[in-house]
Amino acid sequence: MDTVSLSGKELAAAINADTKDRAAALTGRGAAPRLALIVANDDPASAWYVNSLRKSAERLGIDCATVDLGADASADAIRQELAARGTDGATDAIMLQTPLPSGVTLDDVSSAIVATKDVDGVSPLSLGLLAAGLAGFVPATSEAVVELLKYHDIPLAGRHVVVVGRSNIVGKPLAQLLLAEDATVTVCHSRTADLAAVTVTADVVVAAAGRIGLVSGKHVRGGAVVVDVGTNEAPDGKIVGDVDAESVRGRAAGLSPVPGGVGPVTTALLMRHVVVAAENARRS
Ligand code: NDP
């Protein structure tokens, strides 16, 4: 079977074109959309990601301020900064970069991000709104998976989707979004007894575990679709996914590449959320 590559590049370009127009309209009315990126680490991969977000924002006409609190910032200091940005009229959108300082978890600080500016949907309020099926910002990576599948005309209603990974920023919100699309959803995790026995029953498998090569040919039913969310650094320094593409290719009907699949759509959706937050703020 030919395995179609579910590229995210064209979709990301279309989202970015719309975002750029909307950012220009806001700028034309007197204020460009403004994103605050809060950083509290000295991790090189995070620095690289922050830099690429800044460049994306710049290309789209979004003002981006980076606030570096240092790798030894306390949970209190991070919460204070997030709260201050929440009430700051010059900030439309807030993103907290991970990893956080040792001993500080996202759960310790995420509730300090006001939901109206929480463009990556990480606060408990945003996650609760999503679970209840109410309007709010949803985590961009989870949304990117659903948008990528829709863009490539993969039906979801009534189909069995198996999500591998149950984190609060990818697996769990993705399960909620898939339920909203009327998929039948199974969520697997590190304590799932026999992963392959579950994933082979899926019409769509989404790998979001952060484990190189976790999903291979034996995990995939012939003709199923596979989305690879993983972004892992291989020993040779290359970025690779969670899927062993070689063994899945020829078996799956479609497979998203890493890089070039979920990643660019995630960044594009984040930037769209920034513009939406700015539009909402100008209306209120
Ligand atoms: P986390 O480490 O927070 O969660 C990983 C999840 O995978 C956990 O639920 C864990 O189970 C599960 N898991 C780990 N090992 C196994 C296993 N052997 N079998 C089944 N399940 C397993 O990671 P994130 O959710 O933050 O990220 C997941 C991946 O997605 C990473 O590679 C990350 O880099 C990537 N990512 C990509 C983005 C993009 O834009 N493309 C954005 C965000 C993340 P348990 O709960 O039991 O521990």
The whole-number pLDDT of residue 109 equals 98
Same domain for 175 and 68, yes or no, is: no
Among 49, 146, 166, 195, which is best to mutate for testing ligand 1, by the most ligand atoms less than 8 A from CB?
Answer: 166
Tell me if the pTM is above 0.75: yes
Same domain for 69 and 176, yes or no, is: no
Same domain for 109 and 149, yes or no, is: no
> Domain range holding 95?
30-114
Same domain for 66 and 152, yes or no, is: no
Q: Does residue 58 lie in a domain region?
A: yes
The whole-number pLDDT of residue 219 equals 98
Same domain for 166 and 59, yes or no, is: no
Same domain for 53 and 110, yes or no, is: yes
The list of the chain residues with pLDDT below 70 reads none
The whole-number pLDDT of residue 140 equals 98
Q: Does residue 164 lie in a domain region?
A: yes
pLDDT tens-digit readout, 140-173: 999 999 999 999 999 999 999 999 999 999 999 9
The whole-number pLDDT of residue 10 equals 98
- Domain count along the chain: 2
In sequence order, the β-bridge partners of residue 35 are 64, 93
Q: Is the Cβ atom of 188 under 6 angstroms away from ligand 1?
A: yes
The whole-number pLDDT of residue 283 equals 85
Atom of ligand 1 nearest to the CA of 211: 15
Q: Does residue 227 lie in a domain region?
A: yes
Q: Does residue 20 lie in a domain region?
A: no
